[in-house]
Chain A
Amino acid sequence: MKTLQLSGITASHSGTPVLHGIDLTVPSGTTTAVLGPSGCGKTTLLRVVAGFLRPDAGQVRLGDEVVAGPDAWVAPERRGFGYVAQEGNLFPHLDVAANVAYGLPRRERRARARVAELLELVGLSGEFAARRPDQLSGGQQQRVALARALARRPRIVLLDEPFSALDPELRVATRDAVAAALAHEQATVVLVTHDQAEALSFADQVAIMHDGRFSQVGAPAEVYRAPSDRRSAVSLGEACFLAGQLGDGAVTCALGTLPVASAHGTGPCEVLIRPEQLRLDDAGTDGTVGAPGAGGALAEVTRCAFYGHDALVELRLDDASGASTLLSARTFGGRTPSVGSRVRVRVEGEPHLIRVDGGLVDA
């Protein structure tokens, strides 16, 4: 297995530039998720890697072999990359067995055992072999599509939003089956998705894409905890931003003065607060209930969206200046405050500072 390396990829679609200088390294046997909103160019990137689109500039390399570059071009069928698209794209005129065996050399296509083995790999029993694609559910189609791609033992597996067309329950089950199959094959995978949960849970590395550029690339926990800018923060999950003032190892914002051991320097900055970092305590109607010594800011509950396992509570912070600061907090679903009640807000863990005017903070 070899490392997939993209350097300086620019590409356009019917004359419109879509990708502007993409660099990415996918180490052998690992999974990288490209996360971004629809239209950001992530599918175009995948099509460049697969060989369906020629980049305007830049290079795609697998190990030492250049498969796309200014002087090199390897046709998609010669790259040995597996490709699974959003709709699965099973061939409707062939049954499941013929679909799975499609990419195999002619004499291996008849081998029932190999097809059954591949179907088993993606969690389907052998009886599916004789079915037609239109007799399968969406999740089953995706699994067959993966089996079809894996049949050729691809050097790289490219997944283009393979789960987004599925129902939520089916999505998780299919994703787990696919992840297991890919892990079994020790495949090198590039997954393109707009679902942050999928990207964070599926991949070893997450690349966040906006308008044809990567705004951040890193391990899931790292990019979630310490996004490089506001947009990256938002694309990975809900986020609140508070204006803050950094100084003496602590940041002062509407939630009080919070310690930040990792940041140095002084000056204005933005404080990223994830909703699950906030803890709410009942403060009574006059704001006196609760331990005053525990600190925390007072706020009023303006809205509450109940999701069952948890709830998203929207808050308006009391502010000395009279300006109202809005925040959201994620709380345990079994104990949600009622709208209009007053709560005391505490921050758990260290907040992340994403921008400081006039001097970068290194987080």
Chain B
Amino acid sequence: MTTAPAGPTGPTTPVAGPPAPKSPTRGRRGLGASSGSGASSVPGGSSARAPLPLRSAALVVALLCALPLVIVVVKAFESGAGDAFALVWRPRVGELLGNTVALVALTGVASTVLGVAAAWLVERTSLPGRSFWRIAFVAPLAVPAFVNSFAWSALVPGLEGLNGAVIVTTLSYFPFVFLPVAALLRSGDRGLEEAARALGLGPWRTFLRVGLAQMRPALLGGVLLVALHLLAEYGALEMLRFPTFTTAILDQFEVAFDSRSGSVLAVVLIALAVTVLTVELLARGRTRHARVGSGTARRAAPASLGRWMPLALGFAGGLTLLAVGVPAWSLGRWLLRSDEALEPANLGPTLWSTLALALAAALVTTVATVPAAWLIARHRTWFAVAVERVTYLAASLPGVVVALALITLTIGFARPLYQTTTVLVLAYVVLFIPRAMVATRAAIAAVPPELGDAARALGDNPVRAFLRVQLPLMLRGTMAGFALVFIAVSTELTATLLLAPTGTQTLATAFWDASASLDYAAAAPYAAALVLLSAPLTYLLLHGKNEEPQT
């Protein structure tokens, strides 16, 4: 398609015509624009601008996503900043802050070390059985962190406090570092490292100065995910008796139902999340990490491990044992003892309500992504980018903040909606919209817009053209996002605990209730069901094109 006017190629001067056929000379007319400055404002749509209903829909979704943030802040400062400050300036808050920062720092470092080491072994060395290890190192994501902590508590009863929290969360979250770093190492260029070696750097210094620098964006993205998950984590830390802001907000809510003091804590939590996001953005910087120059990236032979092989195998095996083996063994043990403890009638309805909720939320979330994703893919304006960013920002808020905000909102302004499925689904949409957004955007972009034109030239109005051409073609691509939201919702704990209508149990909350009363045998079947539901996630993350959103 021609989009730009002809370049200003001057008239050619040679007397003879060009020797090659099919190369008409281009030139610019000497005369200025004598026409075209007349009636320039034409009502109606030009193809460059998105239709109004579409933009309105995207705006509504963005506002919905921004709502929790606004509400929590307004609520916290309701009776003045001084009052809010008094609520923040307490020894208890200092302790929570220390705990949260220590946890994020220690788990961040530990996840980095484990994730990078695992990725390097799998992608760059001669470690035997690498395709097995690749799956094994992603598999921990199939075990929700609160199930993992349950498994560890059941196995090592004394495990709690900072040590326990760091061990369990690291084993749960290091795949977030492993995945992007491994992807980068797989696609990255070995040539740069070889150049560094040729310039006189030893293998270790090469890794530090070239390898690490190359993987910095991927590493930062992974650590960012770990940090945001840690800030939002409730179940695992509560079970390990390690209070952070999120657990404190929930405790506060259960004891006092005082959403104002909770809101103040939530504002501190938001500030922490924004700090993490900013630090990541600053650390990422503007440096160029892509390849300079042409030529295909080289993939050299993997480094031979030699006599380090047993050590490497020991590391991989040990990590898998701790991260996957422990929950599997622990769950298995309690599952075998639980057949008489739990009447199957209980598991059935819980599973059913979990699936129904997850299905509804995934459907609504996926549909909600379409307007903004369409704008980004088809009419990329500042408005479209802003809408998309707002949804990402809102979703990086911990689930407890979103839940708290929706409680405040419904109690204050929409009482009939308080503790209804509608509000619960809304919370899921706000929390998980980016997972679907990435997939929807890619799916829309994969369909050439010319197909829509073709449909319209064949007599379809825009809506019919969308339904008959665009929708069937993008459906498959959006399914990946749908599945990610579905899995996230079916294993969500924090927001569900706060927002679920009385009497509605999901697998996560049922598990939570059982494990809170230390009834491991009753909790195990729910935990097993949660793991089974999350298992497809491993596959999606390994094989889906779920790339990070581009900036």
Contact = CB atoms under 8 A, between A and B. Distances in A.
Nearest to B25: A234
Interface stretch (B3-11, B148-156, B361-369): B3-11
A326 B15 CA distance: 6
B385 to A, nearest CB: 16
Contacts of B45: 54
B455 interface: yes
A212 B5 CA distance: 7
Interface stretch (A33-41, A123-131, A280-288, A343-351): A33-41
Interface stretch (B220-228, B288-296, B297-305, B456-464): B456-464
Contact of B459 (A77, A85, A325): A77
A312 B16 CA distance: 12
Given A56-B40, A87-B450, A239-B17, A152 B3 contact: no
A263 interface: no
Interface string A309-342: 0001010000000000111100000000000000
B454 to A, nearest CB: 4
B287 interface: no
B6 A149 contact: no
A221 B24 CA distance: 18
A111 to B, nearest CB: 16
Interface residues on B, range: 35 or more
Given A213-B29, A238-B19, A53 B46 contact: yes
B201 to A, nearest CB: 48
Contacts, number: 186
B38 interface: yes
B469 interface: yes
B450 A152 contact: no
A103 interface: yes
B397 to A, nearest CB: 36
A230 B16 CA distance: 12
Given A152-B458, A238-B21, A241-B15, A210 B6 contact: yes
Interface string B31-68: 00111101110101111100000000000000000000
Interface residues of A, number: 79
B28 interface: yes
Contacts of B38: 10, 57
B6 A39 contact: yes
A52 B47 contact: yes
A211 interface: yes
Given A37-B24, A211-B28, A240-B16, A20 B453 contact: no
Nearest to B476: A93
Given A53-B46, A77-B457, A91-B469, A210 B27 contact: yes
B459 A53 contact: no
Contacts of B454: 83, 85, 89, 91, 145
B183 interface: no
Contact of B24 (A57, A77, A235, A328): A235
Contact of B456 (A52, A70, A314): A52
A14 B49 CA distance: 9
B46 A54 contact: yes
Contacts of B1: 43, 86
Contacts of A212: 5
Nearest to B448: A89
Contacts of A303: 19
> At the interface, is chain A mostly helix, strand, loop or mixed?
mixed
B541 to A, nearest CB: 27
A112 interface: no
B220 to A, nearest CB: 34
A328 B453 contact: no
B363 to A, nearest CB: 21
A16 B7 CA distance: 13
A18 interface: yes
B33 A314 contact: no
Interface in A85-123: 85-87, 89, 91-93, 102-103
Nearest to B465: A77
A82 B453 CA distance: 11
Interface in A231-275: 231, 234-243, 275
Contacts of B40: 56-57
A89 to B, nearest CB: 4
A234 B5 contact: no
B13 to A, nearest CB: 10
A210 B5 contact: no
A19 B39 CA distance: 14
The 4 closest A-B pairs by CB, nearest first: A103-B458, A235-B24, A21-B35, A10-B36
